[in-house]
Amino acid sequence: MFYESSHRIDESLEDLRAAFGDGRPAVLARELTKLFETVLDGTWRTCTRG
C-alpha cells in the first residue's frame, strides 16, 4: 500500500509501472470512506494514463 499526494501521483504511478511492469495487477483508490470514493482495478496499464 502506498499513499501519495495528488500533485505527485502521476509521476509516482509511472515509476511504479516501470518497476512492476504493465501487466501487474493494480488497484488505485481515492477518497476512501467518503461520498466520492473511487476505486480502479486492473493492471498498471489500464489504471494509468500511459
The C-alpha cell at 36 is 466520492
The confidence score (pLDDT) of residue 19 equals 93
Q: Which three cell numbers stand for residue 23?
A: 501487466
Extents of the domains making up the chain? 9-47
The kind and range of the H/E element at 26 are strand 25-30
- SS3 assignment, position 12: helix
User: Are the CB atoms for 48 and 17 separated by under 8 Å?
Assistant: yes
- Give, for all 50 residues of the chain, the pLDDT tens digit: 889 988 998 899 889 889 998 899 999 999 988 999 999 999 988 888 76
41 forms bridges with which residues in the sheet?
27
Residue 43: φ, ψ to 5°: -110, 170
Collapsing DSSP states into helix, strand and coil, what is residue 13?
A: helix
> pTM for the full model?
0.71
